[in-house]
Amino acid sequence: MKNIIKQIRDSELRGRGGASFSTAKKWQIFLDAKADPIKSDPPRAGKKYIVVNASEGDPQMSKDGYLLKNHLEDVVNGLKISLKFFKGSEAFFYLRKDYYEKHKSRIIRLTKNLPVKIFKKPGEYLAGEETSILEAIEGRRPEPRHKPPYPCACGLFNKPTLVNNVETLYAVSRISQGKYKNERLYCLSGDLKNKGVFELKDGLTIKEILEQTKNLPKNNDYFIQMGGVLGEFLLPKEIDRPLLGLASVVVYDKKITNPILLAQKILKFSMYQNCDKCTPCREGVFRLREEFLKNERNKKILNDIFQVLEDTTLCPLGMLAGNSINSLLTKIINGKD
């Protein structure tokens, strides 16, 4: 038990929520964070919180659900390990609405006698972002907080808070049992034969993922989106690149995909799922969509908005949306001609 952080470090586990931050580092920061006894808040003096994030909101992702259905015991075991390791901590099990309905009773049963509260996600995509989760649990609109401070230092109710993805805790459990072999869950969807969730090695290239799942298209009439609904688009010649972001690979058949409609769909998603707090995201995405609904797109407008999304958004949503559309535009839409 003492060496769990060392074990995690040796395993080189990186957070499975998409940002791929070193789990050992995060746990160490959380361990070192002082839980200040705040006088005005006596019931929570000295507390630390752990949040299990099982609230994937990306329409391409289904691995949280897969884990809850098939490996809940391991997830809870990972949570137990962390609760034990971080003495005096309490946990929130944060679940997407449908997962909450489906798995609530099993989770309650498995976490009996543990300081764990189950919390139903009050929103959609953005409500799964780590600081939005904190806002939601504190009873406010689920919107990203400004960082720093980072949750590990000052999170839920201003206390140090460790937000871990369910898959990260699943891996922690496997590490503690010596079973972890650098696996990761990949979600494959789109125009391919073998869709679904696959457990493969971490750090694979797109090509390897497609090969190992027997999904590699035979011709070059396709393109790829990796890293989720706001992820980057890739051409067949780029699939030797390692997967970044969320572990999602979507294959689009060029013959049956209208990339303009695809861009509109992504922009509509970003437009309805953004929190509205910051100007470039709220207004920029709205105007990008406007351009994509026109027959002629104004290049200058597109580039100006891509810049503010990349440079000035508060959370990654706007930046990702901009990059995603930009790659779709340059590689697929404009590249086609």
Partner 1 sequence: MAKIKFKINNKIIEAEKGKTILEAAKENGIYVPSLCNHTDLDIKPNCRVCGVEIRGQKKLLTACSTKIEKDMEVFTNTPRVKKARKTNLELIFSQHKEECSDCVWEPNCELLSLAEKNKVTINRFEDRKTNYPVYSFNDVIEFDSSKCIDCRNCVEVCKNQGVGYLEVQKRGHEMKIVPTKKKNIDCIYCGQCIMHCPAGAFESKGEFEAIECALKQKGKTTVVQFAPSIRTSIGEEFCMDYGEVVTEKLIAALRKLGFDYVLDTSTGADFTTTEESEEIVKHIKEKKGLPLLTSCCPSWVRYVEFNYPEYISHLTTARSPQEMLGGIVKTYWAKKKGIDPKDIYMVSIMPCTAKKYEIDRSELKVSGMPSVDCVLTTRELARLLKKKKIDFAKLKPAKLDNLIGEPTGAGVIYGATGGVMESAFRTTYEKLTGKKLKKVDFEQVRGMEGIREAEVTACGNCHKIAVVNGLGNAKKLFDYFRRHPEKNDYTCIEVMACPGGCIGGGGQPLPMDENIRLARANGLYKIDKNTKIRRAHENPIVKKIYKEFFEKDKKARHEILHTTYHKQKRGKVKILK
Q: Minimum distance between the CB of residue 161 and partner 1, rounded to whole angstroms?
A: 20
The residue assigned the tokens 């440079």 is 311
Q: Minimum distance between the CB of residue 7 and partner 1, rounded to whole angstroms?
A: 32
Alpha-carbon distance of 314 to 98, in angstroms, equals: 29
Which residue, 123 or 155, has its beta carbon nearer to partner 1? Answer: 123
Ramachandran assignment for 166, one of left (phi > 0), alpha (psi -120 to 50 degrees), beta (any other): alpha
Alpha-carbon distance of 314 to 131, in angstroms, equals: 12
Which residue, 24 or 275, has its beta carbon nearer to partner 1? Answer: 275
Do residues 28 and 5 make contact, with C-beta atoms less than 8 angstroms apart?
yes
Do residues 116 and 137 make contact, with C-beta atoms less than 8 angstroms apart?
no
Which residue, 187 or 275, has its beta carbon nearer to partner 1? Answer: 275
Q: Which three-class secondary structure state does DSSP give residue 324?
A: helix
- How many residues in the chain? 337
Which residue, 303 or 334, has its beta carbon nearer to partner 1? Answer: 303
Q: What ranges make up the beta strands (E) of the chain?
A: 48-54, 89-95, 116-120, 161-165, 183-190, 196-201, 222-226, 232-234, 248-253
The residues, ordered by sequence, that sit 6+ positions from 32 with a Cβ below 8 Å of its Cβ are: none
Q: Minimum distance between the CB of residue 251 and partner 1, rounded to whole angstroms?
A: 29
Which residue, 78 or 322, has its beta carbon nearer to partner 1? Answer: 322
Alpha-carbon distance of 134 to 131, in angstroms, equals: 5
- DSSP structural state of residue 17: T
Q: Minimum distance between the CB of residue 157 and partner 1, rounded to whole angstroms?
A: 17
Which residue, 172 or 305, has its beta carbon nearer to partner 1? Answer: 305
Binding site for partner 1 (CB under 8 A): 141, 146, 271-280, 282-287, 290, 301, 304-305, 307-308, 310-314, 319
Do residues 183 and 199 make contact, with C-beta atoms less than 8 angstroms apart?
yes
Total Cβ atoms within 10 A of residue 84: 12
Q: Minimum distance between the CB of residue 249 and partner 1, rounded to whole angstroms?
A: 26
Identity at 199, one-letter amino acid code? E
Q: Minimum distance between the CB of residue 278 and partner 1, rounded to whole angstroms?
A: 5
Which residue, 54 or 285, has its beta carbon nearer to partner 1? Answer: 285
Which residue, 228 or 280, has its beta carbon nearer to partner 1? Answer: 280
- DSSP structural state of residue 14: B
Which residue, 246 or 278, has its beta carbon nearer to partner 1? Answer: 278
Q: Minimum distance between the CB of residue 315 and partner 1, rounded to whole angstroms?
A: 11
* CA 83 remoteness from chain centre: 22
Q: Minimum distance between the CB of residue 170 and partner 1, rounded to whole angstroms?
A: 31
The residues, ordered by sequence, that sit 6+ positions from 2 with a Cβ below 8 Å of its Cβ are: none
* CA 300 remoteness from chain centre: 32
Q: Minimum distance between the CB of residue 323 and partner 1, rounded to whole angstroms?
A: 12
Identity at 164, one-letter amino acid code? N
